[in-house]
Chain A
Amino acid sequence: MNKMMNKLPIIAAAFLILVNMIVLAGVNYNRSGEANANLQLTERELSLPYRSYRQKENSGLALKLNWGIVPAKLFTNNYRKYALYSHGTPNWLTEDKLKALGIFIDSTKPDINEAAFDNGKLPAEAFIIVLEYNGETFQALLRKAEKDIQKLRDTVEKNPDDGGSMKQLKRDEEALTQLKTSASRLIAIDAGRNLQTLKEKYPDSSQYLMMRGELRRYWANRKLSARINKLFISNIHVPLPYSEEVNEITNREISTKGYNKWKGEPRYRFELNVGKRLEPWVGEAGGL
Chain B
Amino acid sequence: MDNKFKAQQRADQVQAFNAEIKCLKDENVLELDDNQRIAISRYQTSLLEALTHQFDIDTNVRQKQLSTGMKIASFVGALALAASIFFLFYQFWGYLTTPVQVSILTAAPLLTLLLTYLISQREDTGYFTKLMAMVSFACFVLNLVMLGQIFNIAPSDKALLAWAVYGFLLAYAFDIRLLLAMAILSLAAFIAARVGSWSGMYWIYTGERPENLLLPAMIIFSVPMFNNRWINQKNFNGFSPIYRVFGCMLFLIPVLVLSNWGRGSYLNIEPDIIEGFYQLTGFIVSAGLIALGIKKQWSDVINTGNVFFVLFLYTKIFDWWWEIMPKYLFFLVIALSSVLMLFVYKRVRKQSQLSGGPDE
| Chain A residues whose CB sits within 8 angstroms of the CB of B153 once the complex forms | 23, 26-27, 233, 279
CA A8 to CA B117, docked complex, whole Å: 10
Q: Is A140 an interface position by the 8 A CB rule?
A: no
Q: Is B140 an interface position by the 8 A CB rule?
A: yes
Q: Is B97 an interface position by the 8 A CB rule?
A: yes
Q: Is B147 an interface position by the 8 A CB rule?
A: yes
B173 and A121 contacting across the interface, CB-CB below 8 Å: no
Q: Is B199 an interface position by the 8 A CB rule?
A: yes
Quick one: which of B107-121 are within 8 Å of A by CB? 109-110, 113-114, 116-117
**Cβ-defined partner of B90 (8 Å) among A59, A120, A235, A236:** A59
| Chain A residues whose CB sits within 8 angstroms of the CB of B196 once the complex forms | 123
B201 and A123 contacting across the interface, CB-CB below 8 Å: yes
B201 and A279 contacting across the interface, CB-CB below 8 Å: no
| Chain B residues whose CB sits within 8 angstroms of the CB of A277 once the complex forms | 154
CA A62 to CA B93, docked complex, whole Å: 12
Q: Is A16 an interface position by the 8 A CB rule?
A: yes
| Chain B residues whose CB sits within 8 angstroms of the CB of A61 once the complex forms | 94
B201 and A12 contacting across the interface, CB-CB below 8 Å: no
CA A113 to CA B270, docked complex, whole Å: 8
| Chain A residues whose CB sits within 8 angstroms of the CB of B109 once the complex forms | 16
| Chain B residues whose CB sits within 8 angstroms of the CB of A237 once the complex forms | 149-152
| Chain A residues whose CB sits within 8 angstroms of the CB of B162 once the complex forms | 19
> Which residue of chain A lies nearest to B172 when distances are taken between CB atoms in the complex?
A8
CA A250 to CA B2, docked complex, whole Å: 64
| Chain A residues whose CB sits within 8 angstroms of the CB of B151 once the complex forms | 23, 27, 30, 237, 279, 281
Looking at the complex, which of B26-34, B163-171, B283-291, B292-300 is the stretch in contact with chain A? B163-171
| Chain A residues whose CB sits within 8 angstroms of the CB of B263 once the complex forms | 115, 118, 120-121
Of A11, A115, A278, most B-chain CB atoms within 10 Å: A115
* Smallest CB separation, B101 vs chain A (Å): 8
Instruction: Knowing A113-B270, A281-B151, say if A24 contacts B102 (CB, 8 Å).
Output: yes
Quick one: which of A36-59 are within 8 Å of B by CB? 57-59
Interface size on A, residues (CB 8 A): 51
* Smallest CB separation, B253 vs chain A (Å): 19
Summarize B's interface: helix, strand, loop or mixed. Answer: helix
A214 and B202 contacting across the interface, CB-CB below 8 Å: yes
CA A278 to CA B156, docked complex, whole Å: 14
> Which residue of chain A lies nearest to B201 when distances are taken between CB atoms in the complex?
A123
1/0 per position for A191-223, CB-CB distance to B under 8 A? 000000000000000000000101000000000
Interface size on B, residues (CB 8 A): 56
Q: Is B60 an interface position by the 8 A CB rule?
A: no
Instruction: Knowing A8-B169, A12-B170, A120-B263, say if A240 contacts B97 (CB, 8 Å).
Output: yes
* Smallest CB separation, B133 vs chain A (Å): 10
B95 and A110 contacting across the interface, CB-CB below 8 Å: no
Q: Is A5 an interface position by the 8 A CB rule?
A: yes
CA A93 to CA B312, docked complex, whole Å: 44
A115 and B93 contacting across the interface, CB-CB below 8 Å: no
Q: Is B43 an interface position by the 8 A CB rule?
A: no
B113 and A240 contacting across the interface, CB-CB below 8 Å: no
CA A4 to CA B149, docked complex, whole Å: 36
1/0 per position for A1-39, CB-CB distance to B under 8 A? 110110011011101110110011011001000000000
Q: Is A137 an interface position by the 8 A CB rule?
A: no
22 contacts across the A-B interface (CB closer than 8 A): A2-B229, A4-B230, A9-B173, A16-B106, A16-B109, A16-B166, A19-B166, A20-B147, A30-B151, A57-B90, A58-B91, A58-B94, A110-B268, A115-B268, A116-B268, A123-B200, A123-B205, A124-B205, A125-B200, A233-B154, A240-B96, A280-B152
5 additional A-B residue pairs with CB within 8 Å, beyond A240-B96, A279-B154: A20-B106, A59-B93, A123-B205, A240-B97, A277-B154
